[in-house]
Amino acid sequence: MTLADSLPLEAVRTRAHAADWREAIRLAGDGLVAGGATTDEYTQEMIDTVERLGPYIVIAPGFALAHSRPSPAVLRTGLSWVSLAEPVEFGSEQNDPVSVVVGLAATDHDGHIGMMAELAGAIGDEALFARLKDAETPEQLLEELRAAGSAAQDAATPPEGETP
Amino acid sequence: MKIITVCGMGIGTSVLLKMNAEKALRGLGVDADVEAADIGTARGAARTAEIVLTSADLADEIGDVPAKVIVINNFTNTEEITSKLTEALS
């Protein structure tokens, strides 16, 4: 499963507005619901996770990976993407403020490794991440991701499912 | 050698960290088994591991384990992971 496949157009919000981190996660949850990956319960589970364990989901400067665990609220594995027009604070000492929240839903623990590898590549690539953050429309964002995805494939990451 | 990457749920950030840790280890030429774990199973898993990689927010939750606990600030930064692993391995 590639990153572009896991991220339908309906699951992407660009130039979005959120008053705080809860609202930002809610937008990411709405995207997962709109893309058919989860039910509304999962959105609440993602917020509960941060309330219980802290802002550990803010794993890179300006980036949060909102998620909970496999549950009946997960219909299928998928992602959502929210770029915020104004960044919000999650309380992360190292990586605040956050301007991109990706929502992740997975039906099991390893069916989404391929798309996670691509996502890690996209977030870790500063120039690409800046372009994704500033994309004006969901169409533009997906186009950037597709272009980056095919470039990454050429650069040879190990194929999905292979154990090194 | 066994290395555990830890996150709250074991599906998101720990998986991402596991992939980048494997990349860093390949770069260092170190042969290690990297396993992703959620915070609930991490304490048990950490008993048999040499190194635990996690975020600052979760490091305290792991508590007292024989493994070396390393805090990673940017999970997508292979350079940070490489330099912290190098230090831990030396």
pLDDT tens profile A79-111: 999 999 999 999 998 899 999 999 999 988 777
A41-66 pLDDT, tens digit per residue, is 999 999 999 999 889 899 999 999 99
B61 with A53: Cβ contact below 8 A: yes
Fold (CATH) for A3-151? Mannitol-specific EII; Chain A (3.40.930)
Output the six-digit token pair for A139. Answer: 């169409």
Active site residue A109: no
Of A57, A112, A164, the CB nearest to B13: A57
The CATH class of the B2-77 domain is alpha beta
For A78, the enclosing helix (H) or strand (E) is strand A78-88
B9 with A49: Cβ contact below 8 A: yes
A123 and A62 in contact (C-beta within 8 Å)? no
The full set of domain ranges for chain B reads: 2-77
A69 with B39: Cβ contact below 8 A: no
A16: CB partners within 8 A, 6+ apart: A27, A82, A83, A84, A85
SS3 (DSSP) at B90: coil
pLDDT at A139: 95
For residue B17, the distance in angstroms to the closest alpha carbon of chain A comes to 9
Query: Which chain B residues are within 8 Å of A157, Cβ to Cβ?
Result: none
